[in-house]
Amino acid sequence: MNGRNGQRQGGSSLSEQLFVCAVVAFYCVMLAVSFNRSLAAGFGMIGLTLAIGLLIFAYAWRRERQAQRKLVADRTFDLEKAATDHNAAIDAVFMGRGEGWAFSAFGVAGAQRKLIFSRETYEKERTRVLEFEQLAAAFARPDGKNSYRLEVRTRAGDDHSPRAALFLRVEERAEAERWVQVLQPHLGERVRFVETADAPP
């Protein structure tokens, strides 16, 4: 099966490359014909191409912004619903890419001593609510060149449930520092900022 899938993917990739080459070749021929007719026609075609390229770029940028806003709205809805279900009020929200680069969010309800985690998934259970007492540790640390990892680790449960690690990545150090500052009054020494990615959390 893997061999067949590999052959299909390879064939699909080759056909896409051939299609792109054909389009480029066709454009070059049309451009040459336009310049052969007149300089104005040639430069007009170049201008039209640039205009179409800008429109495509603007459309793609707008679609990406809309998709990002939807992800934020979905995670915000999940956090607020979970907080309402547990009679809690969220004090701070942190959003970023989590496991498998799924868009994820932490919501801190300090007064009710709860941490709410939500992630982008097609599974039914998108949200998890944790008591602060369930958290063994929390930290922020560098995670790559331009990102920071915000993470919590849970204790093993009385029902023998295993420890778990929940995390997401943010791009700004200030956001990572805010994560520590928000949790510090509730977790004390269990939360800290780790300066290097190689240092143990």
On whether residue 42 sits in a domain, the answer given is yes
What are the beta bridge partners of residue 187?
none
The listed range with the strongest mean pLDDT (10-19, 134-143, 152-161) is 134-143
Based on the fold, state whether residues 91 and 187 are members of the same structural domain. yes
**153, 165 Cβ separation under 8 angstroms:** yes
Residue 8's pLDDT is: 47
Based on the fold, state whether residues 186 and 138 are members of the same structural domain. yes
pLDDT at 125 > cutoff 80: no
CA gap 195, 141 in Å, rounded: 6
pLDDT at 157 > cutoff 70: no
pLDDT at 161 > cutoff 70: no
pLDDT over 70, % of the chain: 88
8: domain range?
2-68
Based on the fold, state whether residues 30 and 77 are members of the same structural domain. no
Residue where one domain finishes, among candidates 20, 44, 68: 68
On whether residue 10 sits in a domain, the answer given is yes
Residue where one domain finishes, among candidates 68, 83, 107: 68
Based on the fold, state whether residues 79 and 9 are members of the same structural domain. no
Based on the fold, state whether residues 27 and 87 are members of the same structural domain. no
Greatest C-alpha distance within the chain:
82
| Pick from 3-17, 53-67, 154-168, 182-196: least confident | 3-17
Based on the fold, state whether residues 176 and 92 are members of the same structural domain. yes
Domain count, the chain: 2
| Pick from 93-97, 141-145, 183-187: least confident | 141-145
Residue 116's pLDDT is: 97
On whether residue 199 sits in a domain, the answer given is no
Query: Mean of the per-residue pLDDT values for the chain?
Result: 84
pLDDT at 12 > cutoff 90: no
Residue 155's pLDDT is: 85
Based on the fold, state whether residues 56 and 149 are members of the same structural domain. no
The CATH number of the domain holding residue 118 is: 2.30.29.30
On whether residue 121 sits in a domain, the answer given is yes
Based on the fold, state whether residues 32 and 114 are members of the same structural domain. no
78-90 pLDDT per residue, tens: 999 999 999 999 9
On whether residue 89 sits in a domain, the answer given is yes
Residue where one domain finishes, among candidates 49, 68, 87: 68
Strand ranges (E), 47-189: 92-97, 103-109, 114-119, 127-131, 135-142, 148-154, 165-170
Based on the fold, state whether residues 123 and 180 are members of the same structural domain. yes
109-124 pLDDT per residue, tens: 999 999 999 998 877 7
Whether the model clears a pTM of 0.75, i.e. scores above it, the answer is no
pLDDT at 2 > cutoff 70: no
Residue 195's pLDDT is: 83
Q: Mean per-residue pLDDT for 147-157?
A: 88
Residue 123 CB neighbour total at 10 angstroms: 6
